[in-house]
Structure 1
Amino acid sequence: MGYLRGFTPWVVYGLVSSFDWRGGALAGLLTGLFLFIQDRRRGIAADAQILDVSTVVYFAGLVALAFAAPDSPLKPYADVLSFGWLALTAWGSLLIGRPFTLGIARLTTPPEYWDQPEFVRINVVITTVWAGAFTALGISLAVCVLADAPGWVGVAVHVAGLAAPVTFTSLYSARAQARAEALAAAS
């Protein structure tokens, strides 16, 4: 579940922004930069850092907005914008034929599988599920803001909306790995 590390800046942002959105944006940016630099120093390939780069770009923009216009009418929609950005990142990575999970999966998968169509297809499916979840979360959170829903509703939406793709990724990856091992054993 190494891909969850890439969401650390978003979690930090969520925690800090519950007190101050400017501080949350800055904390998200600094955490994202720290992880990006740390991974570059470790020699992590660029294709495994699509989410990291996207995160830094997003939070740099959010920091600029939050400090330039602290009372921006976009402030209540910061979570909506976050998931919208993540959705654009995921859908965009699919559109250009480089699912954001592909590089991450290569970190734990032997190189002989990297170019196999099944490996790529598995990552297309996983990235599609994440893209759909980000899209659904963004829309759901927009509805929460527009309906002036209580805070616990937004928290429940976050938890359910992220638990689904995390669970799917774990189960689907394990099933795909078991299928590959069974095929290898049969050969």
Structure 2
Amino acid sequence: MTILRGFAPWIVYAVIAGISDTSWRWAAVAAVVTGLGLILDDRRRGIAPDAQLLEISAVVFFVIVAVVGFVTSNSTFHEYDSALAFGWLALTAWGSLLIGRPFTEGIAKREVPQQYWGSDKFRRINRVITGAWALAFTLTAIAVWVIYRQGVGDTYDAIAQVLGFIAPISFTNWYKSRAAGAGDTDGAAQPTT
């Protein structure tokens, strides 16, 4: 799934930040480096910036995290990083819909032939899929914030975060299949997000 590539900085952050209570600052730096590496690699291959929205968003978020981490000596940011990260992803997804450039559309353009990019079906499919991701990110941000505030524990936090990705991935796969089975005569139902 092409969309998972865009989440590489977030995955790098999660892995490194999980090492210790102080590693989150360096995890943010590693996430910035990962995001910049993906962006530069894509630019070298001629990928347009609209297909890099997740990577660009990640770099901005993790630059902020790194600055906060290294400027403040006793930041409680790490306690809320899951909720803030999902909140940021939700803002990214909702914002891309608001400006009429659903983030999944840019990703789908990596694999769908250019002749279909302008079709109403291609745009509609990506609006629906991006909306599902935006909703999942929003609900996950709320869930992990509540889990943290209630002191329920890391296991529930991890479960909520995993579900926050599994649900929209499952919906994306189901919706693409449904759209393709609904008389796809223009090939536009193939966004491989």
**TM-score normalised over the length of structure 1:** 0.93
Q: Once the 2 structures are TM-superposed, how far is the Cα of residue 44 of structure 1 from its aligned partner?
A: 0.4
DSSP-derived class of the 1:90 partner = helix
Change (3 A) 1:133 1:184: closer
1:75 matched to 2:78? The reply is yes
2:37 to 34, 39, 56: 34
Q: What stretches of structure 1 of length at least 5 have no aligned partner?
A: none
Q: Identity rate of aligned residues, in percent?
A: 46
Bigger shift: residues 83-92 or 70-79: 70-79
Change (3 A) 1:16 1:110: same
DSSP-derived class of the 1:98 partner = coil
Structure 1 distance, partners of 2:59, 2:134, is 18
Structure 2 distance, partners of 1:119, 1:98, is 12
Q: Once the 2 structures are TM-superposed, how far is the Cα of residue 177 of structure 1 from its aligned partner?
A: 2.7
Contact 2:136 2:164 in 1 (8 A): yes
1:123 to 121, 126, 129: 126
Contact 1:10 1:28 in 2 (8 A): yes
Structure 1 runs of 4+ aligned residues shifted over 6 Å read none
Change (3 A) 1:184 1:106: closer
CA RMSD in angstroms comes to 1.5
The residue number in structure 2 matching 1:93 is 96
The residue number in structure 2 matching 1:2 is 2
Question: Deviation per CA, 1:11-31, whole angstroms, max 9, x where unpaired?
Answer: 110111012211211111111
Structure 2 distance, partners of 1:8, 1:157, is 19
More relative contact order, 1 or 2 (CA 8 Å, 6+ apart): 2
Q: Once the 2 structures are TM-superposed, how far is the Cα of residue 47 of structure 1 from its aligned partner?
A: 1.0
Contact 1:22 1:70 in 2 (8 A): no
Which structure features the higher share of helix residues?
1
Structure 2 distance, partners of 1:3, 1:180, is 25
Structure 1 distance, partners of 2:172, 2:106, is 15
